[in-house]
Structure 1
Amino acid sequence: MTEDRERRLIDAFLTATGTLVGDYDVVEMLQTLIDDIQELFDVDAVGIMLANQQQELEVVVSTSEASALLGVLQLEAGEGPCVESYETGRTVWVADLEDMRRRWARFAEESERAGFASVHSVPLRSREAVLGSMNLFRIEPGRLNEQDAVAARALTDVATISILQQRDADQAARTQQQLQQALDSRVAIEQAKGFLAHTHRVDLDTAFAMLRAHARSHGLLLQDVARAVTERRLDLAQPESADTRR
C-alpha cells in the first residue's frame, strides 16, 4: 500500500469513527463511506441496502445510477448476491458472469448490460444484528485482493457500529426509526435528482453530482439540499463538468 493510499484509508476510518460521538445523518455517513471505498479500492461502483421497519431491503446510497438499479432489480426479484448477503449475514463473492448466470440468471444479464463482471457483497452486521448489505461492483472479473477485502470489511463494521451505537436496552424502536428516516431521506434525494435531470437536461448521475457538490461546498446535509431543490427554494446551476462517479 502506498503512503498516500494508506493516509487516505486512515482518513476514511477517522471520518467513519467520527460518527460514534454525537448526532449524525445516516445517509450522509453512508454516502461518504461508499465514496471513499470506490476511491480507495479496486471497485467501480458501490451501493448500500438497509432494511426498513418491515425488515424489507431498500437501496439507500449508491455511487452510480447503474449500481442503484442493480440493487432495485434484486429487490424486485427477491434474489441476488446483495440480498443473499443480508439474509445469511455472510460475505458473498461472485467472481465472474458465468458464476452469476448459474446462480441468478436475470441479475447476471442486467449486470453484464451495466458493464459489471463481478460483485462482492458484505453484510452490515454486528453480532446477531444484520442491518443490510454493502455491495462492491467491478468491471473486471475476479475477487478483490485480500488487503482491500479486509479493509472494506473493517469500514463496513465501523458503519454498522455507528448506526447501532445509540441503542440501549429500550432503544430498538429508536434505531429502527433512525433507519426509516434514512430511507425517507433517500426518497427526497431521488426526487431531487429527477427534478434536476428534467430541468437541466442532464443524466441522473450528473444531477446527483450537482446535489453532492452543493452540499459539500456549503456544509449542508444532502437531504436538506435535495428538499430545497424540489421545493424550489434552491436553484442549482449546472457545472461545466460534473464528476458523475461521485
Structure 2
Amino acid sequence: MSREGKIAQTFVELADTLVADFDVIDFLQQLTARCRDIFAVTDAAVVLAYPGPQMYSPAPCDPSPALSKVLDLALREGPALDAYRTAEPVAPGDLSRAPAAWAAFATQARGAGYTYACAVPLRLRRETLGSLLLLRATDSPVPLDDLAMAQAFADAATIGLIHARTLRHTDTGTINEQLHGALHGRILIEQAKGYLAAYRDVSLGDAFDLLRDHARRHGLLLSTVAQRAIDTGDLPRPPAGPHHPAEDAPAE
C-alpha cells in the first residue's frame, strides 16, 4: 500500500470509535503502530493526563526495550509533557542539544539510542487529553510535514475518543477520568503478556499479538482477554454462538 493509502486508512481507523465494543487500549496502540510505519520513527507512545499535570502511558502495550527505558522519564519531563502543557507541537529536536529542562530525559533517551524527539498534543479546542511522543534513532529529525500530519492524527484520535464517550452517554467526569481506566487495562495486558509468553513459549511481542488478534477476531475487549490469560494462563475460549433447540431434534 502506498504512503497516501496508509494515511487515508489511518484516518478511517481513528474515526471508527462509534461501536459498542470500542477498545481504547487497542485504539491507541494502533495509532502508535501507524505512526511508526508512516513517519519512519523508531518508536511512538501515547501519554495521557490524569489528573492535572500527572501523566501515564497507556500505549504501546508492547514497548521496545529502548522505549521502556525512557517512558517513565517522558512522563515527567521532555517533549511529551511540554506538548501536553502548552497544547502545541514540540518541533523535532536533536537530543544532544536538548533544553536544560530535558536533561534527565535527554540523557536517558540518548543512552537508549535515540537521537531526535518531538511530540504533538491530543487536543480539541480548549481540552488537551495528553500527547503523542515520536522518537527517532537516525541522523535526521522527523520532517516538519510529517509532524503536521502527526498532529492531524492526534486531533482525529482526540475527536474519536470524545465520540466514544458520547456513545456511552456519559455525562459525569472528565474525558481524562474516563480514560484513566486505560491505565488499569494496560497493566493487565502487560501481566497477561508474561503469562501467555511463558505458557506458549513465545516472545512478549508475539504474546501481545496473540492477545490482540484473539480480541479482534472474537469481538472482545483486549483487557477482557488479558484478564482471562492471567486467570488461566491461556486465551479464553470464543463466546458460544446462539443455541437453537430445533438443532437438537433428531432428523426425520
Please indicate, yes or no, whether the TM-score normalized by the shorter chain is above 0.5.
Answer: yes
User: Which residue is equivalent to 2:118?
Assistant: 120
- 2:72 is aligned to 72
CA distance in structure 2 between the partners assigned to 1:101 and 1:146 by the alignment: 19
Q: Please state whether the residue corresponding to 1:95 is helix, strand or coil.
A: strand
Contact persistence 1:52–1:183 (CA under 8 A): no
Amino acid at match of 1:24: F
Equivalent residue pairs, number: 232
8 A Cα contact 2:21 2:221, kept in partner: no
Counterpart of 1:19 in 2: which secondary structure? coil
Match of 1:154 in 2: 152
1:171 partner SS: coil
Matches within 5 A, 1:59-208: 59-62=57-60, 64-65=63-64, 66-75=66-75, 78-100=76-98, 102-165=100-163, 166=165, 171-173=171-173, 175-197=175-197, 204-208=204-208
Shift of 1:53: 4.1
The amino acid across from 2:208 in the alignment is F
- Taking the aligned partners of 2:80 and 2:133, their CA distance within structure 1 comes to 6
Larger Cα-atom Rg: 2
TM-score, normalising length from structure 1?
Answer: 0.81
Instruction: Name the stretch that deviates more: 79-88 or 218-227.
Output: 218-227
62-71 or 103-112: which moved more? 62-71
CA-CA distance at 1:141 after TM superposition: 4.1
TM-score (norm. length: structure 2): 0.79
Q: Which amino acid aligns with 2:152?
A: A
In 2, the alpha carbon distance for the partners of 1:23 and 1:129 equals 25
* Cα shift readout 1:66-91 (whole Å, capped 9, x = no counterpart): 3244121233xx32111111112111
**Whole-angstrom distance in 2 between the partners of 1:203 and 1:119:** 28
> C-alpha distance in 2, partners of 1:136/1:172?
32
Deviation at 1:93, TM superposition (A): 2.6
Indicate the SS of the match to 2:232: coil
The answer as to 2:212 corresponding to 1:212 is: yes
SS at match of 2:180: helix
Provide the residue aligned with 1:43 in structure 2.
41
SS in 1 for 2:128: strand
Work out the CA distance in 1 between the residues paired with 2:42 and 2:170. Answer: 40
Contact (CA 8 Å) 2:77, 2:101: kept in 1 or not? no
Aligned partner of 1:28 among 26, 29, 39 = 26
Distance 1:113 1:219, change over 3 A: farther
**Retained in 2: the 8 A contact 1:118–1:138?**
yes
In 1, the alpha carbon distance for the partners of 2:215 and 2:119 equals 28
Q: Which runs of 5+ in 1 are unaligned?
A: 237-246
TM-superposed CA distance for 1:122, in Å, is 0.7
| Separation of aligned partners in 2, 1:95 and 1:227 | 40
The corresponding residue for 2:221 is 221
Whether the 8 Å CA contact 2:89–2:151 is kept in 1: the answer is: no
In the superposition, relative to structure 1, how do residues 141 and 84 fare at CA in structure 2: closer, same or farther (>3 Å)? farther
CA RMSD of aligned residues (A): 2.8
Instruction: Tell me by how many angstroms 1:235 deviates.
Output: 5.0
What is aligned with 1:12?
Answer: 10
Gaps of 5+ in 2: 237-252
Residues 167, 174 of structure 1: 8 Å contact kept: no
